C-alpha cells in the first residue's frame, strides 16, 4: 500500500519515533527515522516535574447554561444556551473536586473530563457564592489521584508559579510565570469581588477558572479565578489557605450530611503538622470521646490530618454511629481516642440553646439582630447569592451602625464566609479566632444594589462580655 507523506508522518509519530524532515527542491519529503532520544536531566526541569505530578488531579469542566439577553439590546429574543468551560482540582480520592462557583453555577449538566480521558457527570455538592468556590463530585469506584496541597502563607513576590487548566477549551494547558503581587482586592463585576488575591503573570485565560496555581515543587498554592480584561500578564488566584478554609466549611459533615462531631480545629502551624483542637462542644461525640482543647490530632481512622478540611474528609460518608480512632498527642504523650459520629437531629434541645447564645453574640459583637431572608427574594433578583440574613435591628452604638448598615439590608457575606442561613452566622460567631481578625468586610444587598466596601470593627472580647453581663 502506498502512503502519502502526511499518512506516513502520522504512522511514524503514532509509533513514538523521533522524526526529522528535510525539504527537497522537487517538493517531496525525505524522512529520517531514528530511535527516541533519552531525555536529559536538563530537560527534566522542576517545571516539567511539577506538571507531571499535578496533572492527573486536574480536570476539565464543561456544561451549558441559560443566559438571558441583556435588557439594553432592545431585543425580545428568548434566553439562549451558551457553552461554559472551566477547570477543577481533585481534593479527595472519592471524587470530590474544588472549582469556582461561577464555573458550575446554573449549569444543567456538569461534564467532567479526567486527565486520562474518562468523562463523568458531576453533582454540585455545596457552594459559597461570596467566595466563588464550589465542591462538585463525580462517581468513581476506584480512588482518584489527589492534588498535593501546599500553603499560601509563605509566598514570595517573584517566586515561580505554574497554572494548569482548560484554557479556551484546550485541556491541560500549562503556563508559567511568577508571583507578581500579594493581597490584591479585585472587583470583576457588579456582583462579584475578591479579597486578598495572588496576582501572577502566568497566563490565565477563560477556562482556567477553578484550576490550580502551583509552586515550583508541584504543590497547589492557589485557585485560579480571574483575569483583568484588556490587560496582558495580569491574572489572579485565591490563596490556597483561604480556599481550603472555605472548602472545609462546604464539606462540613453537619451541614452536608447532618452528622455531628463537636470539634472546632485549626492547623497547628507547620505544613503537614497535626491539627489542633480549639474547642470541644459540651455533650458532643468529641466530648464523650475525651478530646480536649489543645490536643493535637495526627490521624483520624486511616486519614492523616493537618487542616480542618482533612477532618471533614475523614468524616464524610461515614455512617451514623461508626467509631473512628483519633490518634492524639497531649502533653507530649500519644494516645488513641474513639469517637462515634452522632446524628444532628439528636441535638434539637442543644441547638435551640445554642441559637439563643449565637443571637446574643451577633448582637454584642456586631450590633445586629438577624433573621433568614426568604429564598424567593433571591430568585426574583436573579442573583448568584443562594440566601442571606435580613437585618431586623441595628444597635445605635454598634460597629454595624458606624458603617451605615440599616434595617432592611440583607447580609449575604462576611469576611470569607457566606451568610445564607442562621447556621452560617452561628459558625462565624463561634469561631475562636474571630476577635483576632480585627476588621471584617461585609457584603449587603440594599434594594437593587450590592455593597462591598464597608468593614465591621469587631468589639474586643472584654467589651462583648461586659455588654452580655449588663443584659442579664
Q: How many other C-beta atoms can be found within 10 angstroms of the C-beta atom of residue 396? A: 9
pLDDT given at position 68: 55
The per-residue pLDDT for range 235-285, each reduced to its tens digit, is: 999 999 999 999 998 998 887 888 889 898 888 766 667 899 988 988 889
* Per annotation, catalytic residue among 60, 102, 115, 129: 102
Is 415 tagged catalytic?
no
**C-alpha cell recorded at residue 337:** 481516642
Q: How many other C-beta atoms can be found within 10 angstroms of the C-beta atom of residue 158? A: 9
CA distance 452 to 186: 11
Is 102 tagged catalytic?
yes
Whether 256-340 and 348-471 share one fold: the answer is: yes
User: Mean pLDDT of successive 10-residue segments in the chain (472 residues)?
Assistant: 44 41 45 64 91 96 71 51 86 96 89 95 89 93 95 94 93 95 84 86 91 96 83 88 91 85 82 84 90 93 92 91 93 93 59 58 82 74 74 82 82 81 77 67 77 58 44 43
pLDDT given at position 241: 92
pLDDT given at position 15: 42
pLDDT given at position 398: 81
**Strands 193-200 and 235-239, how do they pair?**
antiparallel
- Sequence-distant contacts of 406-410: CB under 8 A, at least 24 apart: 406/446, 408/446, 409/444, 409/445, 409/446, 409/451, 410/373, 410/377, 410/444, 410/445, 410/446
pLDDT given at position 400: 82
* Per annotation, catalytic residue among 209, 284, 306, 398: 209
CA distance 97 to 146: 9
Cβ-in-10-Å burial (0-12, 13-18, 19+) of 409 comes to: buried
Which DSSP letter does residue 292 get?
-
pLDDT given at position 435: 66
Task: Answer yes or no: CATH 1.20.810.10 is held by domain 45-251.
Answer: no
pLDDT given at position 72: 45
The per-residue pLDDT for range 130-179, each reduced to its tens digit, is: 789 999 999 999 999 999 999 999 999 999 999 999 999 899 999 999 99
List the one residue out of 131, 127, 117 whose CA is nearest residue 97: 127
- Give Rg (Cα) of the chain: 26
**Domain 348-471 sits in which CATH superfamily?**
PDZ domain (2.30.42.10)
Residues 157 and 273: beta-carbon distance below 8 Å: no
DSSP labels for 351-390? HHHHHHHHHHHHHHHH-EEEEEPPHHHHHHHT-S----EE
The alpha carbon dihedral of 446, 452, 454, 459 has a sign of positive
Residues paired with 369 in a beta bridge = 393
Domain extents in the chain? 5-34, 45-251, 256-340, 348-471
**C-alpha cell recorded at residue 439:** 476588621
Is 209 tagged catalytic?
yes
* Per annotation, catalytic residue among 92, 132, 242, 424: 132
pLDDT given at position 24: 43
**C-alpha cell recorded at residue 90:** 481533585
CATH topology of domain 256-340: Pdz3 Domain (2.30.42)
Residues 194 and 236: beta-carbon distance below 8 Å: yes
Amino acid at each position: 500500500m502506498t502512503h502519502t507523506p502526511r499518512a506516513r508522518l502520522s504512522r511514524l509519530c503514532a509509533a513514538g519515533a523521533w522524526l526529522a524532515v528535510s525539504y527537497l527542491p522537487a517538493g517531496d519529503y525525505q524522512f529520517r527515522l531514528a530511535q527516541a532520544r533519552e531525555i536529559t536531566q536538563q530537560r527534566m526541569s522542576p517545571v516539567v516535574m511539577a506538571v507531571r505530578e499535578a496533572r492527573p488531579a486536574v480536570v476539565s469542566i464543561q456544561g451549558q447554561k441559560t443566559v438571558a439577553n441583556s435588557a439594553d439590546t432592545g431585543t425580545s429574543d428568548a434566553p439562549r444556551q451558551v457553552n461554559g468551560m472551566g477547570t477543577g482540582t481533585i481534593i479527595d480520592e472519592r471524587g470530590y473536586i474544588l472549582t469556582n462557583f461561577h464555573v458550575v453555577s446554573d449549569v444543567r449538566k456538569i461534564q467532567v473530563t479526567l486527565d486520562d480521558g474518562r468523562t463523568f457527570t458531576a453533582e454540585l455538592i455545596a457552594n459559597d457564592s461570596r467566595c466563588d468556590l464550589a465542591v462538585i463530585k463525580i462517581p468513581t469506584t476506584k480512588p482518584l489521584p489527589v492534588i498535593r496541597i501546599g500553603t499560601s502563607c509563605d509566598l514570595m513576590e517573584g517566586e515561580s508559579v505554574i497554572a494548569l487548566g482548560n484554557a479556551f477549551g484546550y485541556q491541560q494547558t500549562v503556563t508559567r510565570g511568577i508571583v507578581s503581587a500579594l493581597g490584591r482586592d479585585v472587583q470583576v463585576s457588579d456582583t462579584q469581588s475578591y479579597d486578598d488575591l495572588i496576582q501572577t503573570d502566568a497566563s490565565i485565560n477563560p477556562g482556567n477558572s477553578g484550576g490550580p496555581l502551583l509552586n515550583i515543587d508541584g504543590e497547589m498554592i492557589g485557585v485560579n479565578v480571574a483575569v483583568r480584561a484588556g490587560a496582558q500578564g495580569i491574572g489572579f488566584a485565591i490563596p490556597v489557605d483561604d480556599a481550603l478554609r472555605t472548602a472545609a466549611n462546604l464539606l462540613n459533615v453537619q451541614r452536608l450530611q447532618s452528622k455531628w462531631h463537636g470539634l472546632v480545629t485549626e492547623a497547628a502551624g507547620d505544613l503537614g503538622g497535626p491539627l489542633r483542637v480549639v474547642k470541644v462542644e459540651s455533650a458532643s461525640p468529641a466530648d464523650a470521646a475525651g478530646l480536649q482543647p489543645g490536643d493535637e490530632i495526627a490521624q483520624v481512622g486511616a486519614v492523616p490530618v493537618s487542616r480542618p478540611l482533612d477532618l471533614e474528609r475523614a468524616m464524610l460518608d461515614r455512617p451514623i454511629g461508626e467509631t473512628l480512632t483519633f490518634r492524639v498527642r497531649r502533653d507530649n504523650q500519644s494516645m488513641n481516642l474513639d469517637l462515634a459520629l452522632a446524628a444532628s437531629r439528636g441535638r434539637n434541645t442543644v441547638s435551640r440553646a445554642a441559637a439563643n447564645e449565637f443571637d446574643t453574640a451577633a448582637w454584642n459583637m456586631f450590633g445586629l439582630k438577624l433573621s433568614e431572608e426568604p429564598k424567593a427574594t433571591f430568585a426574583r433578583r436573579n442573583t448568584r447569592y443562594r440566601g442571606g440574613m435580613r437585618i431586623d435591628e441595628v444597635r445605635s452604638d454598634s460597629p454595624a451602625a458606624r458603617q451605615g448598615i440599616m434595617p432592611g439590608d440583607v447580609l449575604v457575606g462576611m469576611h470569607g464566609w457566606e451568610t445564607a442561613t442562621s447556621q452560617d452566622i452561628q459558625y462565624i460567631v463561634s469561631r475562636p479566632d474571630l476577635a483576632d481578625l480585627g476588621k471584617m468586610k461585609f457584603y449587603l444587598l440594599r434594594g437593587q444594589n450590592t455593597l462591598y466596601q464597608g468593614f465591621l470593627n469587631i468589639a474586643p472580647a472584654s467589651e462583648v462580655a461586659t455588654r452580655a453581663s449588663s443584659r442579664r
